Every structure is written in C-alpha cells, then in structure tokens.
Amino acid sequence: MSSTYKVVMEPGFNRNANGNNSDNYQAIISYKRNEIKLDPELPNVIENLFHELTHMVCHHLSIEMEEKDVERFGEGLKHLLIENELLK
Ligand SMILES: [Zn+2]
C-alpha cells in the first residue's frame, strides 16, 4: 500500500444553508483523488478521520468490512494511537 492521501479540512462541506447534514455523512474519502475531506467544525473530526482511514486501508487491501465494523475499528485505532499518547 503506497498511496499518499491528502486530508482536506473544509468547514461545512456537507451542510446545507440551515446547517444540517443532508445526506448523513460527516467526512468523505475519494479513492480516485486520494483525498479525505473532513469538517473541522464538527466535534468528532478525529473520529471521522480514523473512520475514513479505516475505509482507506480496507479499500487498498481489498478487505470487506461492514460500516458498523469500520466504525468500531476506527474507534479502536483512535483509542490505540491517541488515548495511549502514541500519536499527538
Ligand atoms: Zn464509513
């Protein structure tokens, strides 16, 4: 796996004029553009980053994982790296 991804912080990228998230995602990954887009104004931006990183690894290693498992794995990665202060 040797792809470089760009992480783009774009406030409100998926919210409409009322501030609502219309299609129920808070971050997005593009395998075509090698890009992860996050909304830095959301309180769970770190969780969203680890979630999208999990999708990225699954995509590149052809691992099939259901969304609920991506959620749990991303949370576990965050816990491992951040809460154990391995990544600051
Ligand atoms: Zn997802």
Dump pLDDT digits (tens) for 2-35. Answer: 889 999 999 988 877 676 666 668 899 999 999 9
- pLDDT value, residue 1: 63
- pLDDT value, residue 56: 96
Top pLDDT among 1 and 5 is at 5
CA 52 / ligand 1 centre spacing (Å): 6
Number of domains present in the structure of the chain:
1
Q: What is the distance, to the nearest Å, from the Cα of residue 47 to the centroid of all Cα atoms in its chain?
A: 7
Structure tokens at 16: 């409409």
CA 43 / ligand 1 centre spacing (Å): 17
Q: Is the pLDDT of residue 75 over 90?
A: yes
- pLDDT value, residue 19: 66
Contact 41, 47 (CB under 8 A): no
Question: Shortest CA distance to 55 belongs to which of 39, 74, 37, 38?
Answer: 74
List CB-based neighbours of ion ligand 1 within 5 Å. 70
Task: Tell me, yes or no, whether 1 lies in a domain.
Answer: no
| Paired sense of beta strands 35-38 and 6-9, if any | parallel
pTM metric for this prediction? 0.86
CA 26 / ligand 1 centre spacing (Å): 9
Task: Tell me, yes or no, whether 49 lies in a domain.
Answer: yes
Enclosing domain of residue 13: 6-83
- pLDDT value, residue 29: 96
**β-sheet with 27-30: strand ranges across:** 6-9, 35-38, 27-30
